[in-house]
Structure 1
Amino acid sequence: MIDEDAPAAPAAGAPRPGRSGAAETAGGPTSASPVIARVHVEVEPLHLDRPFDYLVPPEHHVAVGSRVEVLFAGRRTRGLVVEVTTETEVEPSRLRPVRRVLGEHAWVRPDELGCLRWLADRTGAPLADVLRHALPKRVIAVERAAAEAGWYPPGTGRRPSCDPAPDATLLEAAWTGYGAAGRELRTAVAGGAGSFLWRPLPGEDLAARIGELTQLCLAGDRDVLVVVPDPSSPAAAGVVAAAGDLAVDLRGDHKERGLYRRWLEARTGRARVVVGLRGASLWPLERLGLAVVLDEANPALKERRSPRHHAREVVLERARRAGGVGLLVGTVPSAPAWRLLRERRVQPVVPSRDAERAARPKVTLVPEDGRARTRLAAEATGALRRATRAGTYGVVLAARRGEGRALVCGRCGDRTVCPTCASSLVLGQRGAVLCEGCGWQAPRLPACPSCGERRPVPLAAGAAWLGRELARATDVPVAVLEGYAQEAPPPPAVLVTTRGSVLDTPPGPVGAVVLADLDGALRRPTLDAAEDTLRLAVQVASWAAHPRTRAVLPAGGEVVVQSREPEHHAIDALVRWDPGAFWRTEVATRAELRFPPVAVAIRLAVTSDDPALAAQVAAHLPAGTDVLGPLPLDGEVSFLLKTDDRAATLAALRPLRETWSKAGVGHRLDVDPVDA
């Protein structure tokens, strides 16, 4: 039977709040006094984001972390017990009783509750939103089946053992390119603690390396969490295969019953390894020793619903609190990760320059020089032809849908930029142009500074168009891949792919990679356009250096980059294979605008047409917080806040947000937005 009691919206008559400042305890009070459970009810409104007191009947046993069913505003609702006490400011005769205790296990342990509260504070979200992300729906039939199998309630079954650690000599050989930092990472995984950011060698076998770290951690009787951005990740599949029966794999489309079983296996310690997408970052493990985020700068790792957390921050904090290792993996650090590096809060694990130069593919830069948009240069078509003749794949990275919204001059092709923040401009209503970054807008496009033209055109080079063009020009199969889990034809073939099909491992040997439309991605009207474009370009270019490729082409494949902006520092960093150089230039540019990683960005979107809205927001912000906007967009009014003190800005906004909550004014808050 499935417990389908969903959280309800509050109405008049909700219980009065008790004192919530007393210390939390896992045990109960003396039997002579009534037992009071402080319950954080799973309801949405921000102004109800606090515990409420309920009477615990004698037949129920509750502790901190118990999930219970209560009446709230006249409706049955779930809630989490955050304190057990005998003190209350409500007359005991007026307290409503806990109706039901959901399960014989702690859904959240006291130390985990502290982490969930940290996440709510960091994102400015109600704790109820965090709980809905962290806790699955209960399925009683799963508990019964687990009890019959002998591993439920917690403590019933025996903790599974694991294989010995990998051979130390083989480990040293596999990680030799990373020097002393690689040894420090392995030592920490074996039984220590720390936060690391690992930049793999071009073409590195991620599945093998992460599998080795997983085995090393398990051998020390500690558990492993691996979070990946895409469900088809070969590296994730490798970890699952290496862990065998000790792993739960959350990447599939699991029904409520299967999902709850897997969660319960992790909660009870039956599972030692959890692998999944961004939601897995909040899954419990008995003894967390290693928490990994693969491709940490990937936008897919950012939650789209409140609390809008990023797996990066959650994983690092969980590992820190557990005394384990937090490991971010990526070719080009995100702005928040770069800030952590500069503040020395994470330790870099990077290959030596000699090892990186030996492993990287050959990159050829072809300036566009007025060539018609979306056409491939002779160097690009030649590389594709050589790749297919060698029996390998030729890969062309195309712009995904929506990346062509950035405007360029219809005559000379120069990018149109915002005069305030230098982001790309897009078309608005009735021919107007606007900047989605800071809110600047104008009724018409300013004259192009290069040629004086006022006619903008969108920058677009879709995968379908490129696929048709290539199919007419080649005698091998051409496949357009625009999403996860699409099967590629066997080589030789040309693959036209968008970002959704770029995985951590190529589908086979790749003899050529053509990056024909990086300008479209670089010119996207978002703050992270440059770093995200470089990250994606390095990831797909690494396919040309993968062991699958070198098994056919010992010298590796070739990479051809076409660009109208060959001097752009992201293009230069790609050619030199030096993400550090990119960030050194990018940070200097952003410092002038006070954008991340120099400051923290917070996106506030409000569903309101109140003309005084901007003044209300400005009045509640502390000194030192800059505001860009308001920007009316899709029925909302959006503000971008820039601050050096995230906590102070969120705290200052809290009273205004609670006022909106009571009045029914919808609003969204996003700390470190990936689309700012």
Structure 2
Amino acid sequence: MARAATARKGERRPAPSLPIARIYVDVGLPHLDRTFDYRVADTQHDDAVVGCRVRVRFAGQLVDGYLVERADTTDHTGRLAYLERVVSPEPVLTPEIATLARAVADKYAGTMVDVLRLAIPPRHAKVEAEAVSDAPDVVSGTPDTVSHGWGGYQHGDALLTALGKGTRARAVWQALPGEDWPARLAEAATTVAASGRGTVIVVPDYRDVARLHHACAERLGERQVVALSADLGPAERYRRWLRARRGAARVVVGTRAAMFAPMTDLGLLVVWDDGDDLHAEPRAPYPHVRDVLVQRAHLSGASLVVAGFARTAEAQLLVESRWAHPVVPDRTSLRSNAPRVTGFGEDFDLARDEAARAARLPAVAFEAARAALKADAPVLVQVPRRGYVPSLACGSCRTPARCRRCAGPLAVPAGQQAHEETARAPACRWCGVPESRFRCPACGSAQLRAQVIGARRTAEELGRAFPGVAVRTSGGKEVLAHVDGSAALVIATPGAEPVAAGGYGAALLLDGWALLGRQDLRAGEETLRRWMTAAALVRPAERGGRVVVGADAGLVPAQALIRWDPAWHAERELAERRELGFPPAVRMASLEGEPEPLAAALDEVVLPESAEVLGPVPVMTPQRPDRQSEQRELERALLRVPNVDGKALAAALAALQASRGARKEPDTVRVRLDPLSPI
């Protein structure tokens, strides 16, 4: 009798209302990508709110999950288990983000929980307890009274007016050279905040976050702005993320993960420099910030601005489809802000100046640098590669120099005083073994030459050519955010260019052939983006600003830079991709794996009738001696469909992964939709 009474006393009872909870369990198996129903106990009724974290028993194990719905009934015919516990009553998964996560998972043939891992940071109980839900301060003034500097752009005033009125606006903004873009975006965010709504701005790296946070905080105050980036640490990042979720801020600025940042009354989404590869998520399901924000703007009704100095083919497609409108500089503003751009091609100019030959610069670049330094202005030198001499080739036939031990690339380490023709003791970049007796396997020559000169070698040579001038480097682990406006040589790799007070007097964009010659679908687009990002830091031509680009002036990217017309380049790029059948003119997917599993997957997948299968072809993977146990023979196949069949392709690949997961196939076939570069 005592035992029966104890059982009745400990028996759980269902909640008085909405006793069914629908849960996404944190199990990353494709065939389990759906909600599962559980009962909510009466003791959990108040805490089990939509969006909270829970623990449930699944397949005999305790796993985490997210509660996405409470319901009265269930379609499950068997016995339902109860929630084991509610981890926290904090509703971390808002309905808007849940809808977005589901849409992103479907678009990229991924799973809901994979997207939620990207969207929601890990929980910190102490942070959750200390955070206070306070309403954001009221922004003084009205949208009409917010001062702004958008007057130099066609449709710039109209964009700000629409943002202030709450009208949905979708724009592709091409920033002026020398533009204080953080200030312009802060003005747009302030306009939206004055109307009582919020803004999410996503930028490539932490330096951009710092600049943008400062600009927004100056206009709105520190309490109104939340900055999110990976370098914050787990606790601080969760603290700031909670402030955004609880509606305590009007603006969220951050790097890639901020594309999922929760925001009350979302009014504006912005992505800056959408062509930067840092916007591409390297974890499954591999979403891109621009595409996620386009999806989010569509679902939420918020405005969207795709911004940058250059323009990608994807942004051009938004313009040509009339989904977004271009906001570009007017000709008067462009002429008064752009630097003078000059292109040079081969090395024939070196013979005209002995000092230029020592600095490995043509005369026009040497003269531009000398004039800027004479005017007490810094000079930016953009070099495509880090290191000293990071890549060597045969001096006779130009065959890439490889290590005899592991076939790794040979390079000259920093600190060796060696010229490319007589490089002493090059070493393998993979295994580190010196190669003192190089012989070219193609022609037998013992001579070596540099394929690319690194930033450190360039700094060394320019230091000798300009004695007495300070030389600073930015790149790798030592990235400078700012430099002063005094005379100096600043050698930087692409993406690591510091901002100079008052602007640079000149910019030398070296080794353009190394960027343009890459085997990459986006080589021309990416090269122009890097050039324009650096050139935008230079003073206007009216103040003596000059840009010298190391490429033939007749090339399309060089012409786009000289004319400062990235829209023209993007239009040509998109037209060529349409003709060749490359993204974004089509939807493309990549399947990669070992030959037998990949062939089986291609046989199994049910593709749309319009699908075209390209390949499979071997994947060129380097044979690194320190990872021999990980080396596998891999192949890649590309699937291509018209954009109208993109959803059908994603659904087919999701079904393929679910089927393989249900069978517990041991061999992995990696699926990526819209890969950044399919070739």
TM-score by length of 1: 0.81
State how 1:461-480 maps to structure 2 within 5 Å.
Answer: 461-474=453-466, 475-480=468-473
CA contact 1:134–1:282 (8 Å) conserved in 2: yes
Q: Kindly report which structure 2 residues correspond to 1:436-455, keeping only aligned pairs within 5 A, or say none.
A: none
Q: Give 1:282 deviation, angstroms.
A: 0.2
Q: CA deviation at 1:593?
A: 2.1
- Matched ranges for 1:502-513 at <5 A: 502=497, 505-506=499-500, 508-513=502-507
Q: Deviations over 1:184-227 (max 9, x none)?
A: 34423442212111101111111221121111111111111111
TM-aligned CA deviation for residue 642 of structure 1: 2.4
Aligned length: 597
1: CA distance between counterparts of 2:77 and 2:450?
A: 66
2:365 pairs with 1:380: yes
Determine if contact 2:247/2:263 at 8 Å carries over to the other structure. Answer: yes
Q: What does the per-residue CA deviation read over 1:547-580, in whole Å, with 9 as the maximum and x for residues that have no partner? A: xxx6xx85241011122x4322111111111112
Moved more, 331-340 or 237-246: 237-246
Contact 1:35/1:84 (CA < 8 Å) preserved in 2?
Answer: yes
Distance 1:213 1:33, change over 3 A: closer
Shift, 1:597, TM fit: 2.8
Amino acid corresponding to residue 324 of structure 2 in structure 1 = V
Separation in 1, partners of 2:92, 2:583: 36
Cα distance change of structure 1 residues 208 and 96 upon mapping to structure 2, 3 Å threshold: same
Residue type of the partner of 2:101? L
Give the letter aligned to residue 332 of structure 1.
A
* 1:535 alignment counterpart: 529
Aligned counterparts of 1:387 and 1:554: Cα–Cα separation in 2: 13
2:317 is the alignment partner of 1:349:
no
Change (3 A) 1:412 1:325: farther
In the alignment, is residue 365 of structure 1 matched against residue 343 of structure 2? yes
Whether contact under 8 Å (1:398, 1:496) holds in the other structure is: yes
Say which of 471, 477, 488 aligns to 1:493.
488
Residue in 2 that maps onto 1:294: 272
Q: Is the 8 A contact 2:224 2:251 kept in 1?
A: yes
Query: Which segments of 5 or more consecutive residues in structure 2 lack a partner in the other structure?
Result: 1-12, 351-356, 401-405, 410-439, 622-631
C-alpha distance in structure 1 between counterparts of 2:605 and 2:230, whole Å: 47
Aligned match of 2:62: 76
Q: Report the alpha carbon displacement of residue 71 of structure 1 after superposing the two structures with TM.
A: 1.9
Output the CA distance in 2 between the equivalents of 1:253 and 1:673. Answer: 26
Structure 2 partner of 1:590: 577
Partner amino acid, structure 2, of 1:37: A
The CA deviation at 1:65 is 2.2
Equivalent residue for 1:97?
82
Q: What secondary structure sits across from 1:591 in the alignment?
A: helix
Amino acid in structure 2 at the alignment position of 1:271:
A
Letter in 1 for 2:195: G
Alignment of 1:159-198 (within 5 A): 159-165=136-142, 168=145, 170-171=147-148, 174-198=149-173
Give the one of 243, 258, 261 matched to 1:283. Answer: 261
SS of aligned partner of 1:379: helix
Mapped to 2, the partners of 1:89 and 1:528 lie a distance apart of 49
For 2:192, give the aligned amino acid.
Answer: C
Question: Is the contact made by 2:160 and 2:188 (CA closer than 8 Å) also made in structure 1?
Answer: no
The answer (yes or no) to whether the contact 2:200–2:253 under 8 Å persists in 1 is yes
1:229 aligns with 2:204: yes
Which is further off, 358-367 or 653-662?
653-662
Pairs within 5 Å for 1:64-213? 64-90=50-76, 93=79, 95-146=80-131, 151-152=132-133, 157-165=134-142, 168=145, 170-171=147-148, 174-213=149-188
Match of 2:651 in 1: 651
Matched AA of 2:591: L
Letter in 1 for 2:374: R
What do the CA deviations read for 1:593-649 (whole angstroms, capped 9, x no partner)?
Answer: 21123212323323x341762772585432332324333344343233322122111
Q: Which residue of 2 aligns with 1:639?
A: 637
Report percent identity of matched pairs: 33
Match of 1:111, SS state, is: helix
Q: Offset of 1:166 from its aligned partner?
A: 7.0
Matches within 5 A, 1:613-632: 613=599, 616=602, 620-626=606-612, 627-632=614-619
Pairwise CA distance, 1:278: 0.7
For 2:573 and 2:453, how far apart are their aligned partners in 1? Answer: 26
8 Å CA contact 1:569–1:585 kept in 2: the answer is: no
Q: Distance in 2 between matches of 1:641 and 1:75?
A: 38
Structure 2 distance, partners of 1:625, 1:407, is: 42
After superposition, the C-alpha distances for 1:499-547 in whole angstroms (9 at most, x for unaligned) are 23136x44553001011112111111211111011011011111113xx
Residue 423 of structure 1 is matched in structure 2 by: none
DSSP-derived class of the 2:543 partner? coil
**C-alpha deviations, 1:102-153, integer Å up to 9, x for none?**
323322233332111111111111000011111122222223223xxxx34x
Q: How far off is 1:164 after superposition?
A: 2.2
Change (3 A) 1:487 1:261: closer
Aligned partner of 1:604: which letter?
Answer: L
- Range moving further from structure 2, 201-210 or 634-643: 634-643
User: Against the structure 1 CA distance between its residues 609 and 507, is the aligned structure 2 distance closer, same or farther, given a 3 Å change threshold?
Assistant: farther
User: Which runs of 5 or more structure 1 residues have no equivalent in the other structure?
Assistant: 1-28, 417-428, 433-444, 448-452
For 1:37 and 1:456, how far apart are their aligned partners in 2?
A: 68
Contact 1:479 1:494 (8 Å CA) reproduced:
yes
Distance 1:407 1:489 in 2: 32
Most deviating of 276-285 and 192-201: 192-201
Contact 2:386 2:456 in 1 (8 A): no
The alpha carbon displacement at 1:485 in A equals: 4.2
In the superposition, the TM-score normalised over structure 2's length comes to 0.80
Contact between 2:14 and 2:39, CA under 8 Å: does it hold in 1?
no
Tell me which residue corresponds to 1:522: 516
Aligned counterpart, 1:562: 550
CA shift, 1:406, in A, is: 10
| Higher alpha-carbon Rg | 2
Q: Is the 8 A contact 1:403 1:524 kept in 2?
A: no
1:543-558 correspondence to structure 2 within 5 Å: 543-545=537-539, 555-558=543-546
Q: Is the 8 A contact 1:199 1:350 kept in 2?
A: yes
Map of 2:20 onto structure 1: 36
